[in-house]
Structure formats: C-alpha cells, structure tokens
Amino acid sequence: MMSSAYSSSGMGYRGAYRDKDMSGGSLYMLRNTNSRSILTEIGFISHAGDVKKIINPAFQQELSKKLANQVYRFFYK
C-alpha cells in the first residue's frame, strides 16, 4: 500500500513492519495510543539525497498527499 506512495515520489521503500516486529521491543508512540496509528519513516538525515528531498516544500506537499491518499484507501475502500 505505502510502497506506491514512496516509489512514485522518488524515495526508496524500505518495507513495512508491525510494531511487535521491531527488534528491541515496541515503540512508545505506537504502544501508548488508543487508536490505530501509522508511523512512517520518510528518509534519513544522514543521507544527503534524502535530506535534499525532505527539505523541499514541494516534495513535502506531494508526499503528504500521496501518504494521506493511501491511508484513506486502506481504511475506507
């Protein structure tokens, strides 16, 4: 689902994991919520190519629309 949003924006899709699949235990922000949640990793600040895209407002707008569309499709279609 999310892979199409990432790949169409030029960012590499690095896979999807459930919270319980994470090594070292669950993530606090996912564990301590009463509703469904999604945590996305857009890029790495240690990767110059990722940083260049992430700080671009046009990229932010494009990717946020694509991610929102995929979340909507998951829950409502």
More confident position, 15 or 62: 62
DSSP 36-76: ---------TT-HHHHHHHT-HHHHHHHHHHHHHHHHHHHH
19-59 pLDDT, tens digit each: 555 555 677 877 788 887 777 888 888 999 999 999 999 99
Contact of 42 with 11, CB cutoff 8 Å: yes
pLDDT at 17: 58
Predicted TM-score of the model (pTM): 0.58
pLDDT at 30: 75
More confident position, 59 or 12: 59
Q: Where are the domains of the chain?
A: 2-76
Q: Is 30 exposed, middle or buried (0-12, 13-18, 19+ CB in 10 A)?
A: middle
Question: Six-digit token pair at 42?
Answer: 């857009």
pLDDT at 56: 96
